[in-house]
Amino acid sequence: MQNSQLSQEALPQHIAVIMDGNGRWAKEQGKPRVFGHKNGVSSVRKTISTAARLGIKAITLFAFSSENWRRPEDEVGLLMELFMTVLTTEVKKLHKNKLRLRIIGDKSRFSERLQNKIAQAEELTKDNTGMLINIAANYGGQWDITQATRSIAEKVAHGELVPSDITEETIREHLTMSDIPAVDLMIRTGGECRISNFMLWQLAYAELYFTPTYWPEFGEESLVEAVTWFVNRERRFGCTGEQIKALMEK
Ligand code: IPE
Ligand code: IPE
Ligand code: MG
């Protein structure tokens, strides 16, 4: 297999990432946790550009969970500021590269300023045909299933749907991201081996990849390594990172 060309179809179509380990990475350098979050931004950039060059269709990045509000107020405040700054500085670049950006999660809890920023970014990039980037913010897999259930119940209440017509497909259609394929590969950095209420329904058949690498240290090589692992699991033969890289557009 070593010399043969690997085809694009062997790659995951939808990758999801739990970007974990910022705090511990910072602590190891004797710095405050927020230093880790700030440094995590360059890993986001590298991951997006590598995935786009590989021709991945969609990537979903877990930036802030519905449980993360329980963190100290200072840290939550900084994360919101960082989110605001990144949306301001990065969106034009994403747009220039024809990437589409979408924020998924319960946005109602964000400040009006942030909600406006999000709406602008989504509007600017909505017709782009390149990779779709979903940023999961104030997202929880249980919230996603709950909001889907609520909209289905409303349809039943309005007589648009009868309970016996509710199928798995009905639920799938009401979840966020119903317009893209389920996740093929889920990556979690930072060494923990759990899902932490990330997508639940959409991960049903995903390959789960856990790496001890802290998020601020995750880069192009790390993503290529994860994708190589995925291809080798799916196809049960040995392809190399070099073959994966050969698929990258320069
Ligand atoms: C992930 O890193 C970033 C967010 C949850 C916002 P953590 O902040 O969870 O870092 P650790 O897990 O404490 O090292
Ligand atoms: C999961 O990481 C959420 C994000 C990466 C945004 P956490 O660090 O919040 O998860 P737990 O607390 O270890 O489960
Ligand atoms: Mg963590």
Q: What is the pLDDT of residue 249?
A: 73
Q: Which contacts of 67-74 are long-range, i.e. CB under 8 A and separated by 24 or more positions?
A: 67/140, 67/196, 67/197, 69/109, 69/138, 74/34
Task: Please list, in sequence order, all residues whose beta carbon lies within 8 angstroms of the beta carbon of residue 131, skipping any fewer than 6 positions away.
Answer: 48, 51, 52, 56, 57, 58, 59, 99, 100
Ligand 1 site residues (CB inside 6 A) read 19-24, 64, 68, 79, 190
Residue 66, marked binder: yes
Q: Say which of 20, 39, 138, 184 is annotated catalytic.
A: 20
Q: Are 21 and 215 in contact (CB under 8 A)?
A: yes
Q: What is the pLDDT of residue 250?
A: 62
Q: What is the pLDDT of residue 101?
A: 97
Residues of the chain with pLDDT under 70: 1-4, 235-237, 250
Instruction: Encode pLDDT of 154-212 as tens digits.
Output: 999 999 999 999 999 999 999 999 999 999 999 999 999 999 999 999 999 999 999 99
- Core vs surface per residue 221-243: b (16+ CB within 10 A) or e: ebbbbbbbbbbeeeeeeebeeeb
Domains and CATH numbers, the chain: 3-248 (3.40.1180.10)
What global pTM score does this model have?
0.95
Instruction: Encode pLDDT of 196-214 as tens digits.
Output: 999 999 999 999 999 999 9
Q: What is the pLDDT of residue 3?
A: 46
19 touches ligand 2 (CB under 6 Å): yes
HSE, CB side, 13 Å, CA atoms: give it for residue 170: 15
Atom of ligand 1 minimally distant from the CA of 65: 5
Ion ligand 3: residue ranges with CB closer than 5 A: 20
Q: How is residue 171 written in tokens?
A: 């639920």
Q: How is residue 4 written in tokens?
A: 């043969």
Q: What is the pLDDT of residue 238?
A: 76
Which residue has a Cα nearest atom 5 of ligand 1?
64
Cβ count near 181 (within 10 Å): 12
The best mutation among 24, 196, 213 to test binding of ligand 2, ranked by most ligand atoms within 8 Å of the C-beta, falls on 196
